[in-house]
Structure 1
Amino acid sequence: MKLETETVEAAWQGQWIWGEGEPSPRNVWRCFRKRFSLTEGNGGDATLRITADSRYVLFVNGTQVGRGPVRSWPFELAYDEYEVGHLLKTDQVNVISVLVTHYGVSTFQYLLGRGGLLAELRQSGQAEPLLVTDATWQTAVHAGYDRHSSRISCQLGFTEIIDSRVWEDSWLDPRSELDWAAAQVIGPAGVEPWTRLVKRPIPYLAEEPLYPSRIETVRAVKPAAWSAVIDLRNHLVPESVHHANNIWFVGYLATVIRLEQPGKVTLGSADDGRVTHTISMNGIWYGPEAYTGDDGERYLTVELPAGDHFVLLHLNSCNHGHGFHFGVDSDQSFQVLSPLPDVEGDSPFVTLGPFDVVEIIDHQPGRELRLDHPDLEKARTLSAPGELQAWTEWVRPIPAALVNLQDVFTSSVWTSVARQQPVPQQLHAMATSGATPGIVPVFAGLDTEIVIDFGRELSGFLAFEIDAAAGTVIDLYGFEYMNGDGWRQQTYQLDNSLRYVCRDGRQSYVSPVRRGLRYVAVTVRGAEREVRWHNLRMIQSHYPVAETGSFQSSDLLLNEIWSLCRHTTRLCMEDTFVDCPAYEQTYWVGDARNEALINYYVFGAKEIVEHSLRLVPGSAFQTPLYADQVPSGWNSAIPNWTFFWVSACLEYYRFSGDARFASEIWPSVRATLDCYRDNLDSQGLLRMKGWNFLDWAPFEQPKDGVVTPQNMFMVKALRDAASLAEAVGEPIETARFMAEAEQLRRAINEHLWDEKLDVYVDCLHPDGRPSATTSMQTQVAASLCGIADGDRARRMGAYLVDPPADFVQIGSPFMSFFYHEALAKQGRLDVLLADIRKQYGTMIDYGATTCWETYAKPDNLAPTRSHCHAWSAGPAYFLGAYVLGVTGLTPGWDRVLIAPHPDSLDWARGSVPLPDGGRIDISWRVDRTIGRMKLRVSAPGSVRLEYQAPEGFELDIESCPVG
């Protein structure tokens, strides 16, 4: 595919640089700086171009300028350009400072490359740059950041633990002369793995400081006495740093607890990282009845005599990369030690294994495996450290680099003491941006935890300013939900924490790690004097959008739902669309199709859509079926997600009118659908092994076989590909894809319709057995994708309006988007709006400020996993497209249909963005007594409007052209 790239050799004179040591170190924070002077007349309109692996924060003369790069493939790495002339001085020394974070592992938005920085400063009209990255730059590893910190989640990089006592910000000051090492040159621009450089294709993200709304609770707390996070995945399968694929491992984790006096000991996990485990103490295995704890928490309490006690954990995991949290608590003094004698420099843990997995019974995380290894069961008999000597073939110490001994998540979640306290009046200043600081209360022998509510879900970078004694520890832990009784939903599978160790005096810190949250638990530990908290804020960061779209109506609930969807969508627009700002921040390709449509009606942004769509074919080296999340180290394909991407490409062309995009993306659309065509079986049906997913619901969508809704969405994708081919002037391909769509539609009707049940079956298993479930998901897909005709089509329409109780019902707002599309296609806005009111009204009843990933779980304190998920923001699209009634008729929307649907509403008004700027303003009011709708429309004169009256009404139109 053609991309806007520059000839690397001609465009860049800077060289890639790094420091001594490992080329791809794990979790390293490396600083670079270059001091320089400018002659008179230079630098006034200077532009700095920069990129790095993995991420950077750029400062010029101490001022933060930007952060990046945007997510991209290493072989098409994006670079940024900043105008910095206004920050440069000709009468003094200048300094460019760059903090580069290198992950050293693959994530769901990054493929492992190697550490590197590339930059150059240029002035307009000059052939030679003012400076470039080369061996004259200085570099040092940032000593304040603990490289042993743990993974945030399997999708993301690392948490941050920073000790401000061992690192000063003088490296940002141009006056400082530092004795740092010279940078090491890797090679010129174009060196592997960054073989092509691509100019940033989207605007820079907006950043604005937002402050909390209130102090929620204050508690005097005491954490579990000892805890750690272990990267079992990278230890047991070292090559897994190169990818983010699921791996299976089965083995044992061993350590020793040395107890000085007899006493009660509790050990276990505050978040098991999807590592199923059971515990043996001195050879005695404890069954399920012995453990306590909710969800991810799992604790075992035992009475032990003084002395050494051998702990053995049986591990069983399907793992992408999240850490395993392990803790020990006791009122007695104890140590956690390695079970191997004379081991220095390593952690207090060893593993046995991994042992071979012969057969996987279920691919879902945490499920049992069928194993057949003779040593696996023998190892269960181990009861003392000395017995490990006979297992040298299997025993390996876990390196200290893979163990975080400052486990902030466990310290925040697992508390042996938690006493509720009144909120002091003076502490409320902590939740404001005023000049008066909040004074943190101190409780003898305990830490102080303060839960702060930002009032709504946010996404960005935490920042604070405090005055404290050196060594005071500030722990921050972000989460999304508390109920009215003070119960908090812990972020299991998400280590959303930060530890800051204070130097003496007044100080501030801005985290470079993006987080999503609503609440922050701030815990002050070990304060030797008064802690004065000046402010806490979130630097809200999102794609820069104008609030062009709007919606109001006579239904206050629908108005609130629309606002909920707008805020959700904005939070999930980063450098691509992302699923959620907290747990993953992953660009899921299928999610983004729906999110793009929502965006068109709320913000009208185009560049983010095009950038997201163009990233997808880059995954062809992983799979010609295209990956379901990109760019990612997880080589995973969900066929439906690729089909939705095909539809999104056509929809973007129809919204933007960008013929160049259509022409350039078309070969990739054709290529992947041809690969899917190669997976049709002898019956002409798509038969796939893999993740055949559509909805979080208990209908049969097996990992092998013919999955019916998947076949149906392929029909739609083939038709959409035909429309794209027609747009780019490929009539032969248009006819071919339409013919293939019809052939697949006929095969579906021949082989996947159950005449007796009057439904489409959910799947055919590899042995030919049809599904035992019957689902709304499949019937919705049949209706939306135009599979049925005649009586079958009428049957599908009846199912949409009155879903049978014995059908598997829709399980997520994502699937509801397709349901609502099918209802809109049938003209049943009454059913569509009733469903929106019911499902999203429940979220609002829970106090939601953003749309949930799933619908509320009955009788569950935690109503959903992710409380902010843009695949759920569909109502904003349907209210604009159908209630206001605005849809484009031609690519680029130079012709627009205005066809309002009032349903039970008395009036509605709002705005819909246009693709090239501007908007269409709509307001209507109905008078049912005379069957008339008064409609007022304001639109640019260049847009041709066509009107369609709702059934049962005549239109009184007032048109107000703009421009």
Structure 2
Amino acid sequence: MTEFSSIPAHARWIGSDHPFDLHEVYLDFRSPADFSLDPQLASAQLFISADSRYKVWVNGVFVGRGPARSWPHAQQFDSHDIAPLLHTGKNSIAVQVYQPGYSHFAYLHRGAAGLLAWLECDSTIALVSDQSWRVRRDPSFSAAVERVSIYSSGVEERDLRLADDWSAPDYNAAAWAAARIVAPAESPLWSGLRQRTTPLLGEERTIFTSQPLCRLGSMVTESDDPHAQIRTGWPAAPPLTLAMDKAGWFTPTIKVGETAYWLFDLGHGHTCQGIAEVEGAGGAESLLVSYGDKRRDGELVISDPTTYCRVHLTDRTHLQAGDQIVEGFSLRGGRFLLFALTGPAWPGLRIRFGVRTAAYPLLDDRPLTTDDPELDAIIRLCETTLRACLQDTFVDGVWRESSQWLGDALVQAQALWAMSSDARPMRATLEMAAQGAYADGVLPSILPGEVHSYCVVDYNFSWVELLAFYFSATDDQDFVVRQWPTLTKLLERFHQDSASDGLIRSQPGRRLFLDWSPQSRQEPNAVYNLRYLYALQQAAGLAEALGGAEAQWVEVWGKRAKALRLCVAAAFRSDERWWDDSQRSTRSQLAAALALLTGAAEMDEWNGLAAALVARSLNLDDSQRDGQLVLASPFMHHYIFEALHRAGQNDAVVEIIRCRWGRWAAGGFPTTWENWNVDFPDGSQCHAFSAHPRYHLARILGERVSG
């Protein structure tokens, strides 16, 4: 990643000539026609950002995409080394910018679309984005589309009959409009510009040469919605063998009213994009590309958009006559790629399929292997999940959302740190959460995003834990001190929630998560207060470790933690049991674990609590029965393991991991699941918050070796 000296004063954010080209719009930009360079360049760095996303080509060659997700008041830009693609004389830079026109779980809309770019050649500014660039609204993309899900932006509906080769080096854009100046580089719309803090993803394009599962059925006419056509057509279509040559080409016969299907299994979830190469199309065909996460009873599960998450992951492209490559703008995600070609197919039409995958360039410098094949399989399971769910930052899963959740990032960061000395994703999460803090000090749970209904109050405590872990892992005192105002304001805000009984309640309009398990959420709540107690303890320990001006908080937070510890025990401990609420409605593993972990439970209780935690986890009946401890989710088993570790029960941690995560490994599943059972409509089989055993195993095995 090349460092920059300063942003050129004459660089501008540029946009469409129509200022209200904002809803589901794709804008094509080209550099000035007279853009030329002198010979013998030693270096050439293209710095670029966009609202919301860009793809860039230099002299017709695809270079990359971005920018990294960020808040508009801390806008990030990328740098690309394009020296190998430039030549003496005229050159061209083509950029496509997508603007959904609304905020989602990875983007905050500012009511504007824009591109900012400058080219630095041998320390000299050779080009900036300004009114000399040309722009048009891409006519091949439709704006009348559904959203991919509640989490993301739009489905892609494209008509290649309206497309041209606009990114080619010799394309003439004289008929396009002059770019409109939207804002200076630093402006009220986009400010605090900074270089990307995590590396660009590496992309790989692969053509499939292994035989997929094929079907041929009647075209679905009941709906023009592409996802509905896939949901109806694929299950009804009978299997069919379609011949494929060694290079992956099919020559299908598809009559009027028929649709052919090809299903490919990528092996595990990927950040990806389905692609197709087509030769000899007639111009009446259309191609659907759909993404799936799992199978049930051997059949691909195709999401139902009428359920809560409204997952609608099918893009459609209408083919033009002749040869073409079908490749969308946005990266999607999943394990399964389903292509559907609706006829009539032109006689002699050939088609082959592939995938573009994107992956974080992770340095795996902390390998972990054992002499136990079962544990090694679990380690691979967790590592595959963690790699898959690492984009420009941590994401929960790659299929239905690719969102960065603050609470998930704690266990993802710990597990990743056990694999790699790369602390950049962890640092980026901490910083992005602080940048997005509400005026009262509470942190957002989606980074970045205006998702107020999903402001999870207990995830604020995850940020405190993550900050403490970051310092213990990196000893980066300067960074932690920069976050100190966020930490103090956050904890002061939660202190205001203390009631006369010394306990806190969740904040109106904000979400109390706790866990996916069926434990009580009545308030005052044991788990919520114990999470707060643990955060106070972690913060006090961090203040003591830092010393200096921050040490004044040791006494403040220590006193609050001591008082809360007594109040929690008085409210939720009864008959040597820890309850989730004062009504004594449920007893959860999570409450018991946090009571042990925080020391709210007396030491003479620890053995009994630990034994109960172990017994419930080793009972592989996941259903809930009266009088039984409520089983924690895979996600919150992190705290079960933390508590058992404190109680000196490391062997039990390993046995639980072997029994529970071992079921997935033994079943041939490549990644960790969202929950013990994912048969709910949009349950995912690739979710990173369940991959934390990689951290716990590394810690335990490391202690055994050092001991």
TM-score by length of 1: 0.68
2:185 to 181, 184, 189: 189
How many Å apart are 1:537 and its aligned residue? 2.4
How many Å apart are 1:70 and its aligned residue? 0.6
Separation of aligned partners in 2, 1:573 and 1:566: 11
How many Å apart are 1:416 and its aligned residue? 9.6
* Amino acid in structure 2 at the alignment position of 1:46: A
How many Å apart are 1:631 and its aligned residue? 0.8
- Superposed, which structure 2 residues align to 1:164-179 within 5 Å? 164-179=160-175
- Structure 2 residue 105 is the aligned partner of structure 1 residue 112: no
- Report the CA distance shift for 1:159/1:475 in structure 2 as closer, same or farther (over 3 A): same
1:538-592 deviation line (CA, Å, top 9, x unaligned): 2221221023233333332221111111110011111110111111111100110
- Superposed, which structure 2 residues align to 1:495-894 within 5 Å? 495-530=312-347, 532-621=349-438, 624-635=441-452, 636-689=454-507, 690-702=510-522, 705-728=523-546, 729=548, 730-755=550-575, 758-764=576-582, 770-803=583-616, 806-856=627-677, 865-883=683-701, 885=702
* Amino acid in structure 2 at the alignment position of 1:448: A
- Report the CA distance shift for 1:211/1:454 in structure 2 as closer, same or farther (over 3 A): farther
Separation of aligned partners in 2, 1:727 and 1:606: 20
Which residue is equivalent to 1:139? 135
* Amino acid in structure 1 at the alignment position of 2:46: L
Which residue is equivalent to 1:78? 76
- Report the CA distance shift for 1:794/1:676 in structure 2 as closer, same or farther (over 3 A): same
Asked if 2 retains the 8 angstrom alpha-carbon contact of 1:17 and 1:134, the reply is: yes
- Report the CA distance shift for 1:124/1:198 in structure 2 as closer, same or farther (over 3 A): same
Which residue is equivalent to 1:350? none
1:624-651 deviation line (CA, Å, top 9, x unaligned): 2111111111023222211011111111
Separation of aligned partners in 1, 2:139 and 2:96: 12
1:582-631 deviation line (CA, Å, top 9, x unaligned): 11111100110000000011123211111111000122236521111111
Asked if 1 retains the 8 angstrom alpha-carbon contact of 2:588 and 2:632, the reply is: no
Residue correspondences, number: 686
Asked if 2 retains the 8 angstrom alpha-carbon contact of 1:111 and 1:632, the reply is: yes
Which structure is higher in RCO with an 8 Å CA cutoff and minimum separation 6? 2
- Structure 2 residue 12 is the aligned partner of structure 1 residue 15: yes
Asked if 1 retains the 8 angstrom alpha-carbon contact of 2:255 and 2:343, the reply is: no
1:217-273 deviation line (CA, Å, top 9, x unaligned): 32222354233xxxxxxxxxxxxxxxxxxxxxxxxxxxxxxxxxxxxxxxxxxxxxx
How many Å apart are 1:477 and its aligned residue? 1.0
Which residue is equivalent to 2:275? 463
- Report the CA distance shift for 1:683/1:621 in structure 2 as closer, same or farther (over 3 A): same
Separation of aligned partners in 1, 2:202 and 2:608: 49
Helix, strand or coil at the partner of 1:173: coil
Asked if 2 retains the 8 angstrom alpha-carbon contact of 1:224 and 1:416, the reply is: no
How many Å apart are 1:864 and its aligned residue? 7.2
Asked if 1 retains the 8 angstrom alpha-carbon contact of 2:386 and 2:691, the reply is: yes
Structure showing the higher strand proportion among its residues: 1
Helix, strand or coil at the partner of 2:36: coil
Asked if 2 retains the 8 angstrom alpha-carbon contact of 1:699 and 1:808, the reply is: no
How many Å apart are 1:681 and its aligned residue? 0.7
Asked if 2 retains the 8 angstrom alpha-carbon contact of 1:220 and 1:443, the reply is: no
Separation of aligned partners in 2, 1:79 and 1:487: 39
1:65 to 58, 63, 66: 63
Helix, strand or coil at the partner of 2:394: coil
1:144-194 deviation line (CA, Å, top 9, x unaligned): 111112100111011111111111123432353441011111221122211
Separation of aligned partners in 1, 2:118 and 2:325: 30
How many Å apart are 1:536 and its aligned residue? 2.3
1:326-376 deviation line (CA, Å, top 9, x unaligned): xxxxxxxxxxxxxxxxxxxxxxxxxxxxxxxxxxxxxxxxxxxxxxxxxxx
* Amino acid in structure 1 at the alignment position of 2:558: M
- Structure 2 residue 40 is the aligned partner of structure 1 residue 33: no
Separation of aligned partners in 2, 1:825 and 1:532: 65
1:438-497 deviation line (CA, Å, top 9, x unaligned): 223435632112222222222123222122222211111111112454353536421111
Helix, strand or coil at the partner of 1:782: helix
- Report the CA distance shift for 1:667/1:661 in structure 2 as closer, same or farther (over 3 A): same
- Report the CA distance shift for 1:567/1:622 in structure 2 as closer, same or farther (over 3 A): farther
Which structure has the bigger radius of gyration?
A: 1
Separation of aligned partners in 1, 2:419 and 2:234: 47
Separation of aligned partners in 1, 2:221 and 2:459: 46
Q: Which runs of 5+ in 2 are unaligned?
A: 620-624
Separation of aligned partners in 2, 1:178 and 1:205: 34
Which residue is equivalent to 1:208? 204
Helix, strand or coil at the partner of 1:516: strand
1:846-887 deviation line (CA, Å, top 9, x unaligned): 432111101126xx5x6970111100001211221112x1xx
How many Å apart are 1:771 and its aligned residue? 4.1
- Structure 2 residue 292 is the aligned partner of structure 1 residue 479: yes
1:787-821 deviation line (CA, Å, top 9, x unaligned): 21133334322322333962343242101121122
Asked if 2 retains the 8 angstrom alpha-carbon contact of 1:108 and 1:631, the reply is: yes
1:435 to 232, 235, 247: 247
How many Å apart are 1:505 and its aligned residue? 2.3
Q: Which runs of 5+ in 1 are unaligned?
A: 228-405, 765-769, 886-898, 901-934, 936-946, 949-963
